[in-house]
């Protein structure tokens, strides 16, 4: 199987030393799994290595289960060995045209995973000639890959009053607070120079509520749940909206005009950063997740005695 891995590269070699490539590609698994410690949800990307352990709920819509962020073993690269060491009984064939002799074919054991890597993985080296050097990928490449693997939960919206709101009465807005904490995942980028792992961390920053009546409300947190066990005078909200019109004339889920309701969406904006080896770090574009609900808003009728 290994011979097939490098055969295509040998077929295209025409130079004494194939020019090294700085291009990186990600070596990651699909999906992975996550664990929630109550403060941070860590999602393993499925790259090879030792998987941590953990348990707990990931919050509404958050991934759950055993398995934390992946620990990656990074080899010393590039690592050129004689072709016959990798493939006993073979020497890689005749030297390329114009090659300096004596010499031999060498294989970079780090150059696996793509044709780009393999093209720098098999070289002819004259006796005493130094092997080509290839820098490993920029950790930012692995950080961006990790960000694309983040599994962010969809927010669950809660309202109070929950079924019917009323004109000129403050409607409390909040999302499930159990998901309001950082989430992270780790990925790996590799090239002929080796592999680099980096972790992307997404932190919820604020929620933008579209209340359906043409208004938006921005809240710097998940909001405060209403507790029916406490007197209203002992509670206050950090996120609310007061409707000035009823929902009459709005769309209805069942087609009944009496069930007309405002469509409400909550969009969480997450700030994203990556952290790599030797203190390397950087910022990445923010991400958003969105949840939706609806609310009928009625007019409280006054009664004259």
Task: Kindly report, residue by residue over 100-158, the tens digit of the pLDDT.
Answer: 999 999 888 776 544 444 455 788 999 988 888 878 889 999 999 999 999 999 999 99
| 3-state secondary structure (DSSP) of residue 142 | helix
More confident residue, 38 or 90: 90
Poorest-confidence range of 34-48, 180-194, 197-211?
34-48
- 237 and 117, same structural domain? no
Could you identify the residue written with the tokens 């799994």? 33
SS (H, E, C) 159-210: EECCCEEECCCEEEEEECHHHCCCEEEEEEEEECCEEEEEEEEEEEEEEEEE
Do 190 and 117 form a contact (C-beta atoms < 8 A)?
A: yes
Per-residue model confidence as pLDDT tens digits over 8-22: 333 322 223 333 333
The verdict on residue 263 lying in a domain is: yes
The verdict on residue 265 lying in a domain is: yes
- Classify strands 25-26 and 157-160 as parallel, antiparallel or unpaired: unpaired
- 122 and 253, same structural domain? no
- 96 and 225, same structural domain? no
Residue 170, pLDDT score: 93
Per-residue model confidence as pLDDT tens digits over 245-291: 999 999 998 888 889 999 999 999 999 999 999 999 999 999 999 99
pLDDT category, 303, cuts 50, 70, 90?
low
State the average pLDDT over residues 186-205: 89
Residue 94, pLDDT score: 92
Residue 68, pLDDT score: 34
- 114 and 49, same structural domain? no
Residue 163, pLDDT score: 82
Q: Which residues of 99-110 are buried (b: 16+ CB within 10 A; e: fewer)?
A: beeebbbbbbbb
The verdict on residue 304 lying in a domain is: no
Whole-number Å distance between alpha carbons of 136 and 22? 7
Number of other CB atoms surrounding residue 247 within 10 Å: 23
- 229 and 118, same structural domain? no
How far is C-alpha 284 from the geometric centre of its chain's CA atoms? 11
Q: How far apart, in Å, do the first and last CA atoms of the chain sit?
A: 92
Q: Which residues of 134-146 are buried (b: 16+ CB within 10 A; e: fewer)?
A: bebbbbbbbbbbb
Question: Does the pLDDT value for residue 25 go beyond 80?
Answer: no
Q: How many domains does the chain have?
A: 2
Q: Residue 199 pairs with which residues in a beta bridge?
A: 186, 275
- 165 and 109, same structural domain? no
The verdict on residue 60 lying in a domain is: yes
Residue 65, pLDDT score: 29
pTM for the model:
0.64
Do 157 and 264 form a contact (C-beta atoms < 8 A)?
A: yes
Q: Is the peptide bond before 161 cis (omega within 30 degrees of 0)?
A: yes
Per-residue model confidence as pLDDT tens digits over 76-88: 777 888 888 888 8
Residue 304, pLDDT score: 60
**Structural domain span for residue 236:** 26-74+138-298
Whole-number Å distance between alpha carbons of 305 and 216? 39
Per-residue model confidence as pLDDT tens digits over 204-255: 999 999 999 999 999 999 999 999 899 988 999 989 999 999 999 999 988 8
Q: Which residues of 159-184 are buried (b: 16+ CB within 10 A; e: fewer)?
A: bbbeeebbeeeebbbbbbebbbbebb
Do 161 and 243 form a contact (C-beta atoms < 8 A)?
A: no
- 258 and 120, same structural domain? no
Question: Does the pLDDT value for residue 199 go beyond 70?
Answer: yes
- 19 and 30, same structural domain? no
More confident residue, 234 or 44: 234
CATH of residue 235's domain is: 2.60.40.10
Residue 119, pLDDT score: 53
| 3-state secondary structure (DSSP) of residue 289 | strand
Question: Does the pLDDT value for residue 72 go beyond 70?
Answer: no
Per-residue model confidence as pLDDT tens digits over 157-170: 999 998 899 999 99
The verdict on residue 156 lying in a domain is: yes
The verdict on residue 132 lying in a domain is: no
Whole-number Å distance between alpha carbons of 46 and 63? 14
- 144 and 293, same structural domain? yes
Whole-number Å distance between alpha carbons of 77 and 57? 40
């Amino acid at each position: 199987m290994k011979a097939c891995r490098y055969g295509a590269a040998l077929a295209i070699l025409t130079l004494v030393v194939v020019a090294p490539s700085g291009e990186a590609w990600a070596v990651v698994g699909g999906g992975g799994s996550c664990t929630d410690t109550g403060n941070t949800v860590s999602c393993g990307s499925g790259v090879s290595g030792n998987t941590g352990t953990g348990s707990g709920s990931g919050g509404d819509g958050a991934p759950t289960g055993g398995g934390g962020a992946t620990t990656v073993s990074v080899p010393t690269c590039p690592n050129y060995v004689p072709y016959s060491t990798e493939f006993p009984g073979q020497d890689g064939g005749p030297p390329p045209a114009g090659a300096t002799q004596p010499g031999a074919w060498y294989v970079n054991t780090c150059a696996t995973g793509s044709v780009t890597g393999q093209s720098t993985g098999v070289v002819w080296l004259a006796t005493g000639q130094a092997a080509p050097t290839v820098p490993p990928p920029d950790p930012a490449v692995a950080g961006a890959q990790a960000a694309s693997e983040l599994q962010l939960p969809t927010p669950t919206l809660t309202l109070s009053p929950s079924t019917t709101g009323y004109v000129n009465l403050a409607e409390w807005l909040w999302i499930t607070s159990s998901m309001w904490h950082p989430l992270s995942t780790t990925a790996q980028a590799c090239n002929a120079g080796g592999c680099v792992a980096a972790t992307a961390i997404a932190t919820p920053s604020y929620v933008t509520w579209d209340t359906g009546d043409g208004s938006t409300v921005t809240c710097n947190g998940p909001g405060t749940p209403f507790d029916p066990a406490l007197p209203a005078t002992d509670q206050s909200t950090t996120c609310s909206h007061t409707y000035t019109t009823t929902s009459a004339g709005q769309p209805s889920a069942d087609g009944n005009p009496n069930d007309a309701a405002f469509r409400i969406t909550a969009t969480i904006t997450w700030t994203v950063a990556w952290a790599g080896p030797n203190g390397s770090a950087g910022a990445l574009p923010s991400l958003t997740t969105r949840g939706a609900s609806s609310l009928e808003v009625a007019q409280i009728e006054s009664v004259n005695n």
